[in-house]
Structures are given as structure tokens and as C-alpha cells.
Amino acid sequence: MLSKISLILAAAAAVSAAPVEQRAADTIQVPVKQVNNVKSALGLVQAGQSRLNKINNGGSKLRARQSSGTVTNEDVSYIASVSIGGSAYDLIVDTGSSNTWCGAQGSCEPSGSGQSTGESVEVSYGSGSFSGTEYTDEVSFGGLTVSSQSVGAASSSSGFNTVDGIIGFGPVDLTQNTVSGQSEVPTFMDNLYSQGSISTEVLGVSFRPESGSDDDDSNGELTLGGTDSSRYSGSITYFPKTSSGSAAPYWGTSVSAFKYGGSTLGSTSGAIVDTGTTLIYIPTSAYDNFLSATGGSTDRNSGLASFSSKPTSNFAIVINGNTYSLTPSQYLIPSDQYSNFGITNSGKYYSWINDGGSSGVDCIIGQKFLENYYSVFDTTNSRIGFATAA
């Protein structure tokens, strides 16, 4: 669902911060569930590459993806149960877009307290899209409620097989030009903050890898208005959100290097941190070097990086001098899950790391990275944070 973007970011020193102390009245924890609705690994690979293509080729309709709540992964996506006008909808938790909408699986109409605005709404995500009309209504998630939230009611949609829509946690900039007659619309988080339901506009995200062959566990948590120190160890290190270039409307940052073992695979990349993308995409040159270092190749059938022998070294992403490593067991697809992705060759190893292209934004820090690191999306201070998952 993303595209590639050229990114100019002034280097800024990362700031380490002690875990944020939370007050029960200020933060909400909400569980989320992971759902795998993938028909093939190739479709999964192409979904992320389509998102990169959409970002890098402009398109004003590409728009981004808190209390705490549970989320589930579907497509593979993390899904939250959200109340809109008193009815429950299963919505994708997406930091790569910012509109909230429903109706992919059926009717999504204003409640008795809702009100149609008469405006049209349209959003394209690269590998999916929706269009319809806007209304405002009561939206509740994790015990917090916005009384008059902008909601898109889809009259048509594509790329959403079993979920009802999306709840967007991206920056408000991503709502620009999505609703007719409005330059942008406040996000759910914007409204929670402006009405005083949360004291700081911060979203903490905890995802967990699936175990065994399971593909639909309640293995995630969102914290609205702060962070949950039980979900990470050590301190959170923050990086400034990208303020210029094509990544600026997104939760963007600058990656200084990619590594395999002691070798540098590549450097200087524009990156998007996106809960709505499953795989980890890195620049083509770094991906090619990764394959060379591991003796791997791109599998023709699945589109995944594949290996005859299991890689033995860690893969790492370096941001402002801070190294975030994944062990082989973290960046390789568990063999118990092969059938979930239509992989039939059980004699090979396959990776969550894939080719992000060679221009613009060429890196997506997706779910398979975020399942190993706690992530923080801080609108108030315009920064992104990571800490080791507990």
C-alpha cells in the first residue's frame, strides 16, 4: 500500500527517554487481534510494493493508517473492534493512513445521533481503495469516545476481504484532499486530544509474533495517550518525524544503514513506519546485497527472499546510530506458517525482508519489525520511538 519517496532529513540526535509513567485516567490499553487473510505470499509481497509505488508517485488520495485496545492482524493486518454509532466494526489499525471508514463488508450508515455532511470521500492505499460519503457520528474505542468523528461510509471498496474498513492513526496531513469541501479532517486521536480525553497525543503499539501455525491471535495492544511500560524493556529512544520530502505526511524517519552480521548492506534511506504493511522493505541495492551475503534469491512463485541454507547472522536497521537487530528466527518465516502463505516448498527458508525499490521512499518498517520492538507515535512532539519488546 505504499510508494517510494525521496526524502531529505536533517540528521538529529536521537533522544533516549525513561519509560513514561502512566496514570490510569490518562491512558487506555486496548487489545488488538492479528488476522491472516492472505491467499498467497506473492500477493502479500505485492501489497507492500504497491503501497510504496503509491507513495512515491504522489497521489493526493493516499492517506495514512488510541486508550489502549486489542488489535488483530488481517491480510496480514492487526484488527481492532471499533464502535461507530453504537455498532461494532472490525477495522484495520493503520499508521500509514488517517481516515476512519467502514462499510467494506456491508452497510455503514449514520446512527440516530449521526449526521450526514453531504460530502464525498475517497482514499487510495495502493493495493486497495474505497469511496463513498462522509458523515459524523459517535466513535468509541478502548473506552474512549469522540462524539462527532468524521466517518467514511463506503459505497465501493477493493482490497478489503474480511474487514469492515480502517481506523487511521497516521498524521492528519494524510486526510488532505480525501473529503470534498474540506482541506483535512481531524483524526480520531486528534479529537480525543482536543476534547481532553487524553493528555498527550501519543499512541503506543505492542505487536507480538504469532506462535506455531496460528494466524488469528489477540496478540497486540494499543495504548492511547501514552505508553505501556509493561510492554517494553529499557528505555524508549525517539527520533524526529520527517518534516520534508514525500515522507513528511507519514510517520517517516531516516535510516542510516542496513546490516547483515558485520557487513553494511546499504545506507541512507527514506523510511515509513507502518502498522498496515506486513513485510520489511529495504532499498533494492541493500536487498541485493542481503541476498548475496546470505546465498539467497527471490523465489519466482512467492516473491519472497528464499534460501537453501538457513542464514546465521542478524539483520539490522540503523537509525541515527541506534542499531535495531533481528535474529534469523525473527526475520525468517516460521515453517509452521508456510501453508498460511501458500508456500509449498518446505525444504527452503523464506524471509520477511523484501525489495523496496530504488528511488524515493524505499523502506517500510512494517509489522514483522514492529512485532519485535515496541513503537511510539508521538504527534504532540512530532517524533517516533522504539524500545525492545518485553
For the chain, the domains span 23-224, 230-389
Fold of 23-224: Cathepsin D, subunit A; domain 1 (2.40.70)
pLDDT averages per 10-residue partition of the chain, 390 residues: 24 33 57 66 81 71 39 66 96 96 95 96 89 98 95 94 93 96 96 96 93 66 95 97 89 96 92 94 97 97 95 97 97 92 90 93 95 98 98
CATH T-level fold of 230-389: Cathepsin D, subunit A; domain 1 (2.40.70)
Catalytic residue among 75, 90, 94, 190: 94
* End-to-end CA separation in angstroms for the chain: 29
pLDDT of the residue at 171: 98
**Three-state secondary structure string covering 317-360:** EEECCEEEEECHHHHECCHHHHHHHCCCCCCCEEECEEECCCCC
Cell 469541501 belongs to 181
CA of residue 362 relative to chain centroid, distance:
15
Angle at CA of residue 208, ends 158 and 301, nearest 5°: 50
Q: How far apart are CA 208 and CA 56, in angstroms?
A: 30
The residues near 63 (Cβ < 8 Å, ≥ 6 apart) are: 97, 98, 99, 123, 125, 168, 170, 174, 175, 176, 178
How many Cβ atoms are within 10 Å of 177's Cβ, its own excluded?
16
The verdict on pTM exceeding 0.85 is: yes
274 in catalytic set: yes
Task: Answer yes or no: are the C-beta atoms of 306 and 297 closer than 8 Å.
Answer: yes
Task: Report the C-alpha gap between 334 and 151 in whole angstroms.
Answer: 38
Q: Quote the cell numbers at residue 353.
A: 525482508
- Residue 322: its pLDDT value, please? 97
pLDDT at 53: 82
What is the SS3 assignment for 283?
Answer: coil
Q: Given CA atoms 226, 232, 234, 239 in this order, what sign does their dihedral have? A: negative
Known catalytic residue at 378: no
Cα 167 from chain centroid (whole Å): 11
In total, the chain counts a number of residues equal to: 390
What pLDDT score was predicted for residue 300? 92
SS3 state at 236 = strand
Place of cell 508456500: 343
Instruction: Determine the Cα–Cα distance for residues 136 and 331; give it in Å rounded to an integer.
Output: 42
Q: What is the pLDDT of residue 214?
A: 58
- Peptide bond preceding 82: is omega within 30 degrees of 0, i.e. cis? no
Quick one: how far is CA 152 from the chain centroid? 20
Q: Is 74 exposed, middle or buried (0-12, 13-18, 19+ CB in 10 A)?
A: buried
List, as one string, the DSSP characters of 76-93: TEEEEEEEETTEEEEEEE
The two domains 23-224 and 230-389 share their CATH topology (first three levels equal): yes
Catalytic residue, candidates 274, 299, 362, 378: 274
Nearest partner of 192 among 253, 146, 255, judged by Cα: 146
Task: Specify the pLDDT at position 268.
Answer: 83
- What span, in angstroms and rounded, lies between the C-alpha atoms of 251 and 273? 6
